Amino acid sequence: MLRPEIIRVPCWRDRWRARLREHCRAPRVRRPGTATGGVWVPDSPSGVASGRAQCPCDNRGVSPPSPAPRSGFGAANPYLLLTLTPLFWSGNWIAGRGLAPDIPPMAMTFLRWLFAVLILAPFAWPHVRRDWRQVRRHWKPMLLLGVIGVGTHNALAYLGLNYTTATNGVILNSFIPVMIITLSWAFLGERLTALQSLGVAVSLAGVLTILSGGSLAELLAFRLNGGDLLIILSMAMWSVYTICLRWRPSGLGMLTFLFVLMVVGDLAVLPLFVAELTFGRHMAVTPANIAALVAVALFSSVLAYIFWNRGVELVGANVAGLFVHLMPVFGVVLAWMFLGERLAPFHVAGIGLILTGIFVTSRYGRRPSEAVAAAPDV
């Protein structure tokens, strides 16, 4: 005699257990630092991420760990990074003036960027290999930007510092944002408002005040310091470079871009460096001079660039651009501390006029982010 089969109807507990088992077996990837169901869930018993989130029921009694502190530049205060950047750039001008008797200008330019290339190479080379096809495809704009922005700009600046003070150089350098706006108007047809034109005129008055030493007679006689004029020409090269950045290859990694420009600029200065040696101008090779060159390469060429870009990423272009105007302040203080240069009344007047003109042109311009492109060194 056959016994009737008993059919068991699942109750709500069975259905809940089945859903829980399916939930535990689901291959779900947990984002780092997030929680599952409001409870922290370790990815594996060993603490190593396994890529699969476990079910909260398997981790009862496990307390969440304290969040791991961020390390490196990501954890740094962006305002500290943006303050250190113009300090490092100002130090470059002080070093260029202080080392002028021992290191000729072309040697200073070539060796600074050579050391910078060597410092950056271990970090940049994998990116350069990955982006090499794109670099070859856009070699013309890369060549132009490297020659103008790294080679010519720095060579003229160091040459000018042989004939003028670091105070003059760093103050005149703050005129770059206004020069960029002026050259964009002259060569690209970008329109200037009436207030922008007024700002350009005010900043230009500040530059002329510094060039003439505050003397109207010197200005009318056009007896200007040749070193100051070389600094002005260096600023013009950097302004042209900044304007040409609009043709920078899109999609090219920033580290690749910087490294290739360093190499191109250094190779462009190499013939001038060789010619300088041919005419008998040699560097005084001492441990102090080598250490100074390495410091300029590390702080002014590599760290300043990294700090600047990280600061822009964290606080935005408009806020970061304001920190460029700390250069005259740092430059004057450092020149007084290390070179014994004094701040004259005409320096104060020139700084006031230049910064006033910068404020007017940037405040009433159409693109307030121009200040970031006007970063005075790379």
- So what's the pLDDT on residue 22? 64
Q: Which amino acid is at 49?
A: A
Alpha helices by DSSP H, 249-344: 254-278, 287-295, 304-315, 317-322, 327-334
Query: Residue 90: which residues within 8 A CB-CB, separation 6 or more?
Result: 170, 327, 330, 331, 334
Q: What is the pLDDT along the chain (378 residues), one digit of tens a residue?
A: 455 555 555 555 666 666 666 655 555 444 444 333 333 333 333 333 344 444 444 444 444 444 444 555 556 788 899 889 999 999 999 999 999 999 999 999 999 999 999 999 999 999 999 999 999 999 999 999 999 989 999 999 999 999 998 988 888 887 888 888 888 888 888 887 888 888 888 888 888 888 788 887 877 766 678 899 999 999 999 889 888 888 888 888 889 999 999 999 999 999 999 999 999 999 999 999 999 999 999 999 999 988 988 887 788 766 777 787 788 888 888 999 999 998 888 888 988 888 888 888 777 665 444 434 445 554
The model's pTM: 0.73
The DSSP 8-state label assigned to residue 313 in this structure reads H
Query: Residue 225: which residues within 8 A CB-CB, separation 6 or more?
Result: 163, 164, 168, 211
Q: Is the dihedral of CA 328, 333, 336, 342 positive or negative?
A: positive
Q: Which amino acid is at 16?
A: W
Q: How many residues does the chain have?
A: 378
Q: How many CA atoms lie within 13 A of 128 on its CB side?
A: 14
Complete DSSP assignment for 321-359: HHGGGGHHHHHHHHIIIII-----HHHHHHHHHHHHHHH
d(CA 98, CA 162): 9
- So what's the pLDDT on residue 252? 86
Query: Residue 372: which residues within 8 A CB-CB, separation 6 or more?
Result: 312, 317, 318, 320, 321
